Structure 1
Amino acid sequence: MIEKNVDVKKEILAGLTSFFAISYVIIVNSMILAEAGIPAELSVFGTIFISIIGCLAMGLIGKVPIVITTGMGVNSFFTYTLVYSLKMSWQEALAVSFCASLVYLIVAYTRLTQLLIESVPDSLKHGITAGIGIFLVIVGMENGGIIVRGEHTFMTLNSFQSPILLLTLASLIVTLFLLLKNIQGSFFIGIILTTLAANLFQIIPKTENLFSLSAIKNYPSIVGQLDFSGVFTTEFILGTFSLSMILIFESMGLFNGLLTGLTPAGFKKVFRVNGIIMLLSSLLGTSPTIPAAESSTGIQQGGKTGTMAVTVGLLFLAAVFAIPLLSFIPSSALSPVIIITGCMMMENIRHIELTDLSEWFPAFLMIVMMAFSMSISDGLAFGFVAYPLVKTFAGKRQSISLPMWVISSLFLLYLVAKVWI
């Protein structure tokens, strides 16, 4: 059902933009989970189905322009921490995801949600948005081949002989031109033009397609495969605690960062909807869901309502039948959208009191750690742990609320837990 006073054309264009910006998750999430032991040709359907459910629920119930899909970073935690480091089977890892989602729901359906919202200082809220922004910029530059791993540094500028780099820069110029000329659907037009150029002139070889619709008949074999046999072991408890912290605070940070002007009641609704979808993800045989940072690409294109999210959900549905076509879209077509969106999100720095180091430094630390650790959750941890310390050093301990001390302590435990896993 379309909401009243909605510019449907603009919402659909925003949905198309967000879908193409996040479409890589369909393939990439499946490949990461394959390393945990879940067959990629099956988990791809779990990724798509939970994205369909999540986007439709967020659009129809939450009524906000947010894409819900499996979290990049969360899937790495699933594979490389739960399975590789803690030696769990993928079935046990799904059980950990289920339990962590239950913890999330306990927070979502109690006063803890409102308490957490009210306790987080504005400087950190704006820092979260800016941090996600620079995180997206680096993701876009890496995916677009602008930066690569250096021989002596962790990143360096790619060679200008690289066709991926040249195509990305050309796409960036075209997309910026369209955007600054206020042409509606500039992001989507940029994606289409770059995709056409890449394929017509064979600038970048098309990647081999490893997925087939015929494999869907075997998909039920990974549904509901949760193993709770180790629920009382140290590894299971440690994994559940760490994943709960990531899911609760990364989701909270993303909702706050992506949705400006959301009322407390509205926040509770979308936070709860996300928790239910998150719980379903483990039952469908995939890693937990979070709000996608790439939702901001559609929001920047004018997406303001749940119609955008519904559009993305329907496009995920269409992707079931068009998985092979996704291989035609080069990363160079998507990277400029992600880079520009990240730049726009970084504007929130201007709302932080830069003349007060006790406010600015924790936010700054959060921003740079999100970028250079390539982890939103790790960036959140450093920012929240630093805030009460810096305030105490500045003689402003009285400005720190008790809930803020608790949140900081939980994030400190999260960082300590990383030592053991």
Structure 2
Amino acid sequence: MLKQWKHVNVKKEILGGVTSFFAISYVIVVNSLILAEAGIPPEFSVFGTIFISVIGCLAIGLLGNVPLVITTGMGVNSFFTYTLVVSLKLTWQQALAVSFTASLVCLLIALTPIADKMNDAIPDSLKHGITSGIGIFLVLVGLEKGEIIVRGEQTFMTLNKFNSPELLLTLGALILTLFLFLKKIQGSFFIGIIAATVIANMLHLVDGEQNKFSLSAISHYGSIVGKLDFSAFFSIEFFLGVFSLAMILIFESIGLFNGLLPGLSKERFRKMFVVNSVVMMLSSVLGTSPTIPAAESSTGIQEGAKTGLMAVTAGLLFFASTFMIPLLGFIPYSALAPAIIITGCLMMGNIRLIDLTEFTDWFPSFLMIVMMAFSMSISDGLAFGFAAYPLVKLFGGKRKEVSSTVWVISFLFFLYLLAKIWI
């Protein structure tokens, strides 16, 4: 299996894996804190997040040979907590059963020609819109985590005050990272992360609250493993949860695969889809929310990573983090934000590939992009873009450009948006 990396640039692959790991490392702590609101003890679920990330990265790297980090999805975890548990009143054990069932639906689709039909049916304009939308989504994530933008009193976001040390550190790190990146210095993102981390700790800007996790809690981790509860299987709440979550997992995965690795062959796409679906199912067994390809994988790709060696490197670092959980708390969001912002800007470049002279092509893509940004949800952005596409084509007298598969996908996304009335 290692023969597939015989002629690769090992240095770039490892650097890409290290950069991607640090860019997404916040998920280890943040995912556990979000799931805590669903009732899952964070000191235990942190190990579920780590272990499924190790499995996901190693599986996609060794079997798929692609430079992707597979870890618990930000946004998906919010759906797990605030929709399945808070809104639908399911227990966290029942929510894990919903996740397992939705992941099984993904696997069944991945194993059939339906997956290829879905992927092939997506118009190029929407594929470019997905990449651009993920890009602006990442930019906003970076701006928010770096505290350049904050929640405003009169608006949902506003520029932070320039006396904020977090904002100043983020801007300083952004300037340094941009300089290194534009000078084509290898490891520019990683150097920026390390420099900002050192400065933040010297100035005591790191929040010690993240250091409350301890390796000793691993002895009790088994208390949340395999706790799936299917007792609500025939209830309307369980059905709504499975349908909505399956829609999110299927199309967010397809969108991220296309957005992060454009031009994938059918064989590689199918293999990645199957691998990710199996890992999704395992995440439920391990007591955590479902996995998706992390958008932050693009930071490693920008460092030059092209193969699964990058994913394996990230997976090994996730494993090492088991023994260094408290140390992760010393990496401030301000150190991670610049790499995320720059990567998002680079992905936004795909907007140039959308035909802006044809309204029926660019309007659904534009709607997808802005909804990903301002709803802070990739899945909601996908829903609006796909739901709008056939309608705009129909109204514009271009009905023949819409395949029957796209009509079905759009209808499913319409049902997904309709389901939000109840959830």
Q: TM-score, normalised on structure 1?
A: 0.99
Q: Distance in 2 between matches of 1:208 and 1:400?
A: 49
State how far apart, in whole Å, the 2-side matches of 1:98 and 1:197 are.
Answer: 43
Is 2:80 the counterpart of 1:78? yes
Alignment of 1:153-164 (within 5 A): 153-164=155-166
**For residues 4-403 of structure 1, what are the structure 2 equivalents within 5 Å?**
4-403=6-405
Q: Which one-letter code corresponds to 2:85 in the other structure?
A: V
Q: 1:4, CA displacement in angstroms?
A: 2.0
Alpha-carbon offset, residue 410 of structure 1: 0.1
1-structure distance, mates of 2:207, 2:229: 41
Separation in 1 of the partners of 2:210 and 2:146? 18
Residue deviations 1:96-149, cap 9 Å, x none?
000000110111000001100111100000000000000000000000000000
Q: Once superposed, what is the RMSD of the aligned Cα atoms?
A: 0.8
Counterpart AA for 1:245: M
Q: One-letter code of the match for 2:138? A: L
Question: Which amino acid counterpart does residue 363 of structure 1 have in structure 2?
Answer: S
Distance 1:167 1:291 in 2: 29
Q: Is the 8 A contact 2:71 2:292 kept in 1?
A: yes
Residues 163 and 204 in structure 1, CA contact (< 8 A), matched pair in contact too:
no
Corresponding residue to 1:408 among 388, 407, 410: 410
Q: Distance in 1 between matches of 2:207 and 2:116?
A: 50
User: Per the alignment, in what secondary structure is the counterpart of residue 128 of structure 2?
Assistant: helix
Distance in 2, Cα, partners of 1:319 & 1:61: 23
CA deviation digits over 1:144-176, x for unaligned, max 9?
000000110000000000000000000000000
Moved more, 10-19 or 196-205: 196-205
Q: Which amino acid aligns with 1:295?
A: S
Rounded to whole Å, the distance in 1 between the matches of 2:207 and 2:34 is: 22
Counterparts of 2:177 and 2:306, CA distance in 1 = 21
8 Å contact 2:134–2:372 — kept in the other structure?
yes
- Verify the 8 A CA contact 1:65 1:303 in the aligned structure 2: yes
Q: Distance in 2 between matches of 1:237 and 1:71?
A: 21
- SS of the aligned residue for 1:69 comes to strand
Alpha-carbon distance between aligned partners in 2 of 1:208 and 1:223, rounded to the nearest angstrom = 23
Contact 1:224 1:284 in 2 (8 A): yes
The alpha-carbon deviation at position 13 of structure 1 amounts to 0.7
- Aligned-partner Cα distance in 2 for 1:76–1:210: 22
Distance 2:208 2:96 in 1: 33
Counterpart CA distance in 1 for 2:77 and 2:263 is 30
Identity %: 71
Listed as ranges, the gaps of 5+ residues in structure 1 are none
- The SS at the match of 1:420 is coil
Q: Shift of residue 260 of structure 1?
A: 2.2
